[in-house]
Amino acid sequence: MKNSFISLRNKFFIPVITLFFGLCGISDWASAAIFKVPLQYSTIQAAINTAKTGDTVWVAQGIYTENITLKDGIKLEGGWKNDYSARNWTAWPSVIDGAKLGSVVIGANGATLDGFTIQNGSAKFGGGVFLKQASMTIKNNTIQNNIATSGGGGIYLWGIPKPPPYTDIQNNIIRKNKVTTGSGGGVLLSNSQNGVRITNNTIGGELGDGNSAYSGGGGIDIEFTPIFTVEDNTISQNIVEKMHGGGVMINEGTPNASLCRNIIKYNGIQNGNYGGGVYSIGGTFICRNDISFNSIFSSIAWGGGLAIDSPQGTSPRIENNFIHHNMASQGQGGGAYIVRGDHVILMNNSIANNTPDSPNSGGGIYVKSGATCILQNNILWSNGDDFHEENNSACILDHNDIEDGDALGQQGNISADPLFVSYNDLHLTKGSPAINSGNKAAAPNIDYDGDNRSSKIDIGADEFKGEDDNGSTCPFVKSAKASYLEPYLDDVRSFRDNNLMTNSFGRVITEQYYQIAPSVSALMSVYPSVQIVVRWLLTPVVIFIVWPKTVLILLVLVACAGMWGNLIRVRNQKVE
């Protein structure tokens, strides 16, 4: 009976089902058309007008001077070769030039704008792309040289509905756009529901490529949008003329909104107030960013890297960030400035080399009288005045490494050189006193790089991964591998941690060693003979570390032998 059923299934049901789904697929394919510009239509708008939901418009390379309005569900693809045999929006750019006659592109719900150069738009909002009360995908475009008077020089998004579909802004280059009287030089997102994602974009770029705004958010401005994702972007060289947020400005973000894994650097405010890199009002989760080399130039300058204001609701959590080399000229809070908020959490951040470094300036972190905070597992180093709070004991300091020695010896706080890789690289090197010195309670499970943290958590944004004997840049480890020195690796490491790192002179020696280590290791990889020489040079060091008593006895014997030899020579000279 079972075999008969299987035979019937194979002969009848499967062919019928296959035919049914096949016909459905053919029907869907047949209903979706492709329209080619300029082969079939001389303008992009003419092809869009003909297309229906689900259709795709292919645009070959060239310059198209027009201002277009998309239709719901249309896919617009640029970067096609003239014969439509291949697509590469970098090699064969399709340029839509708005000739300063309005927004270059007006979006539509469910539409896709993919692979264009969008330029020379001019409008009140959204010089490059304007999208209102709709969701769409904007990807693989270069959006440049557009102007808006009130907001969103490159892209303006307003009233985006709750997904699906999502609004995705991904893998675009957004540069040289300007807002003359408002905010959001690159992107302005306003009054929208959750689900807007801004990911993997370059917003600004190299020197001269930055976006600019008059009143805030030189790169990105997000207003009254509770939930959003801004991740994996490079936001750099953007400028605000007055007020706040040279790189990013956020107003009314919630803990379900995220600003994570971005490079936010070389942004600035020419004559403003808060946040040369980032100004965030609300509870936005801020994690794993490199916030560096941002600045404010003003007599009122607060928060060169980051300014946080959380007047109501849940305060933000700021964790695993590198915040370094930022400047609040003539102001306070070179690294971070906390304006308001109850129990603002700063967890496992590395904050270094920020200015101003004058007394009571909070070169690392400055906390206003209206704020309280929890600082746990942070490194604050080389900021001059590393930490300042207007109200004493407004913040809880727990297991931090602070050069100034704030709360030193209390709740696990230390003050010891963290031994960063370099002046600009805040990863830890082997032997750092920050390793295994943090508090695991409520700490993040991963670090700045996304590496899992160990059971003995490190202080700072970087969790040191330990020495990999096979790929180590340590010359000793590399030379000792598979040699007579290998059994003594742990002895040498123990000597470093228990002897050298317990005093300032030893820490200096260790730091200098790890600074030259990568260069020596690289030579050893190219020239095997260098590895042998390093092994020979290190052998007496290992002998001294592993067998100190034996070495001391030998030294004493050598000294005694020398003295005995001298006595014999002196006696012989007297006899003669």
> 40-94, pLDDT tens digit by residue?
999 999 999 999 999 999 999 999 999 999 999 999 999 999 999 999 999 999 9
The H or E element spanning position 239 is strand 239-243
pLDDT, one tens digit per residue, over 260-285 is: 999 999 999 998 889 999 999 999 99
Closest CA to 72 of 159, 165, 139: 165
- How far is the C-alpha of 189 from the C-alpha of 170, rounded, in Å? 14
pTM, 2 dp: 0.78
Axis-axis angle for helices 504-526, 528-546 (nearest 10): 150
Distances (CA, A) of 511 to 16, 462, 531: 74, 17, 21
Tell me what pLDDT residue 311 has. Answer: 92
State the pLDDT at residue 21: 38
Instruction: Write down the residue that tokens 């030998």 correspond to.
Output: 554
Exposed/middle/buried for 524, CB within 10 Å: 0-12, 13-18, 19+?
buried
């001294």: which residue's tokens? Answer: 544
C-alpha–C-alpha distance, residues 529 and 312, integer Å: 65
Contact (CB, 8 A) for 71 and 111: yes
Sequence-separated (6 or more) residues with CB below 8 Å from residue 67: 98, 99, 101, 102, 103, 104, 105, 106, 121
Per the CB < 8 A criterion, the answer to whether 173 and 206 are in contact is no
Cis peptide before 226 (omega within 30 of 0): no
CA 412 vs CA 398, 420, 545: distances in Å:
6, 20, 30
- Nearest-5° angle of CA 196, CA 200, CA 205? 115
Distance CA 389, CA 393 (A): 8
Strand locations in 15-89 (E): 34-37, 56-60, 62-65, 68-69, 75-80
Exposed e or buried b per residue across 296-310, where buried means at least 16 C-beta atoms within 10 angstroms of its C-beta: bbbeebbbbbbbbbb
For position 24, what pLDDT does the model report? 39
Provide the strand spans (E) within 382-505.
Answer: 387-389, 395-398, 401-402
Inter-residue contact 349 to 317 (CB < 8 Å): no
Beta strands in 353-484 (DSSP E): 365-367, 371-376, 379-381, 387-389, 395-398, 401-402
Residues 6+ apart with CB under 8 A from 477: 467, 469, 489
Conformational region of residue 251, where left means phi above 0, alpha means psi within -120 to 50, and beta covers everything else: beta
> How do strand 117-119 and strand 94-97 relate by DSSP bridges?
parallel
- Residue numbers of the chain with a pLDDT score lower than 50: 1-30, 467-471
Q: How far is CA 469 from the centre of its chain?
A: 29
Per this entry, what is the length of the chain? 576
Task: Verify cis geometry, omega within 30 degrees of 0, for the bond prior to 356.
Answer: yes
> How confident is the model over 334-384, as pLDDT tens digits?
999 999 999 999 999 999 999 997 888 999 999 999 899 999 999 999 999
- Which residue carries 């030579």 as its tokens? 523
Return the pLDDT at 470.
41
Q: CA torsion, points 114, 117, 120, 121, in degrees to nearest 10?
A: 0
CA 112 to chain CA centroid, Å, is 27
Write the single-letter amino acid at 318: I
